Amino acid sequence: MLNRFAVILCGGSGTRLWPLSRSLKPKHLLPLNGDSTLLQQTAMRIHSKVPASHLITVTHDSHRFEVKGQLAEVLPDAVHAVIAEPVAKNTLPAVAIAVKRIYEIDPKAIVGVFASDHAIDNEAAFLSAWDSAEIAAAEGYLTLLGIKPTEPATGYGYIQPGSALQLEQGSLPIASVLSFIEKPDKQHAEKFVAAGYLWNSGMFVFRADIFMQLLARHQPEISAVLAGLNAGNLKEQYDLLPNISMDHGLVELADNVAVVPVDMAWSDLGNWESIYLRHARNDDNNVIHGDVVSIDTHDSLLWSQCGVVTALGVRNLIVVRTADATLICDRNSAENLKLLVDEVKSRYSSLAETHLTVQRPWGTYCVLGEGPYFKIKRIVVNPRSKLSLQLHRHRSEHWVVVSGIARVIKEDMEYIVNVNESTYIPAGHKHRLENPGDADLVMIEVQSGAYLGEDDIVRFQDQYGRE
């Protein structure tokens, strides 16, 4: 019987869907396609074929707690197998570290590799293509899912398929691959579509041992680093890895590559225009999300995360409002958003990195306001979670419980703070906050002091290994 594993790649710089995505909140962590996040949708889609315990998720260390938190909501058994990369090194190192782990369990295991931030509307077609790809993979092929183009897109790489392979056939044909082409210009894209080329979706299926052989042959450097990896040296070993993609580093160099053409209403949601195109439009051909008032406005995406977006007499725009920024972009310029985000980054760096609401392993906090000598946060602590035992050298903190119940350790005291009660932690006092209840603890924290940076923290004990 087939021993099936899957790897989910959770990378991303948070640029393409800014201001909704941020470097600390890339698009797979966002609910862009319904109520659950793209990562959660991907995990559930894969879970149709793969048990949660055979699902390995690779992400950057800075996203680790949120990735685990999101998986815990839909597939708790997948949480243990989240690999946190200390440095992002493109897709090949991420795939390699996950496949090595699978190879050690079963060299003949069949592995599927999937991006965490794509939308696939036709799930049956996806699963059927995966079935077919496994037939080729079992025979030793490095197999790609190739998307049948719906338009001459210039934002994707193309695959030129060759002759049909003589294999036991699944429901879809399987072809050899003649060549890979990088993102083409419009003219070439039109030719490729007419000639039956396929979009490279970045989804792969292969046998673990075949992958390891290919890696040893084409990327001996990565193989050597992986061989020397142990629990204690991840950071040092990662620094030695090259920054290289699965495509460039392996797929384009291998000679046993196959492709399964598939039509599954796929999108990489690579910019706001693709979000516009995939959402239902109203009578004015607008996509509306959140609180929006529009008059004489057409062909636009109007998306509010916070506050009200209002539009009068405009056409063909992308408008996205968050608590701290508003983007107005012509739909034809959506592909160039990176230029704008780079400028934002240089002038307002935190605006490209985080939202006002920040995820922590124990819950969230949101900065409600700050000024000279004070900062105010709304803190939500998850049920039965606790912050680290810590102290701040420069700030004192007032806490008012507005919902739930708090257990507080302050120096050598331990006490409960109930709803509508408050407590005070002077600067320099060792303290710990815990939610001992079954409901969220919601607290208002008023910080005061001359220095209020997040780095004024000394951790003594931490459930999440952050000491």
Residues that bind its own copies (CB under 8 A): 19, 291, 293, 295-296, 304, 307-314, 317, 319, 321, 323-330, 332-333, 336-337, 339-340, 343-344, 347-348, 351, 366, 368-369, 371-374, 376, 378, 396, 398, 400, 402-403, 419-420, 422, 424, 442, 444, 446, 448
Give the residue with the Cβ less far from its own copies, 311 or 381.
311
Tell me how far, at minimum, the Cβ of 21 lies from its own copies, in Å: 14
Q: Does residue 47 sit in helix, strand or coil?
A: helix
Give the residue with the Cβ less far from its own copies, 322 or 390.
322
DSSP per-residue letters across 370-421: EETTEEEEEEEE-TT-BPPEEE-SS-EEEEEEEES-EEEEETTEEEEE-TT-
The closest of 317, 205, 327, 202 to 268, measured between CA atoms, is 202
Tell me how far, at minimum, the Cβ of 19 lies from its own copies, in Å: 7
Give the residue with the Cβ less far from its own copies, 20 or 120.
20
Tokens 């060759």 belong to 162
Tell me how far, at minimum, the Cβ of 271 lies from its own copies, in Å: 11
Give the residue with the Cβ less far from its own copies, 298 or 466.
298
Record the tokens describing residue 463, joined without a space.
Answer: 């459930």
Give the residue with the Cβ less far from its own copies, 65 or 272.
272
Residues with Cβ within 8 Å of 442's Cβ and at least 6 positions away in sequence, in order, are 378, 379, 380, 401, 402, 403, 404
SS (H, E, C) 189-220: HHHHHHCCCEEEEEEEEEEHHHHHHHHHHHCH
What's the rounded Cα separation, in Å, for the pair 409 and 394? 19
Neighbours of 117 (CB within 10 A): 28
Give the residue with the Cβ less far from its own copies, 159 or 329.
329
What's the rounded Cα separation, in Å, for the pair 398 and 210? 59
Tell me how far, at minimum, the Cβ of 338 lies from its own copies, in Å: 10
Tell me how far, at minimum, the Cβ of 313 lies from its own copies, in Å: 3
The closest of 199, 329, 340 to 276, measured between CA atoms, is 329
The closest of 12, 25, 101, 14 to 69, measured between CA atoms, is 25
The closest of 216, 212, 254, 219 to 240, measured between CA atoms, is 219
Give the residue with the Cβ less far from its own copies, 129 or 406.
406
Tell me how far, at minimum, the Cβ of 309 lies from its own copies, in Å: 5
Tell me how far, at minimum, the Cβ of 14 lies from its own copies, in Å: 15
Give the residue with the Cβ less far from its own copies, 178 or 339.
339
Q: Is 439 within 8 Å of 404 (Cβ atoms)?
A: yes
What's the rounded Cα separation, in Å, for the pair 207 and 107? 8
Give the residue with the Cβ less far from its own copies, 118 or 321.
321
Give the residue with the Cβ less far from its own copies, 74 or 314.
314
Tell me how far, at minimum, the Cβ of 376 lies from its own copies, in Å: 6
Q: H or E stretch including 83?
A: strand 82-85
Q: Is 369 within 8 Å of 376 (Cβ atoms)?
A: yes
Tell me how far, at minimum, the Cβ of 283 lies from its own copies, in Å: 15
Tell me how far, at minimum, the Cβ of 281 lies from its own copies, in Å: 18
CA angle 162, 149, 93 (to 5 degrees): 75
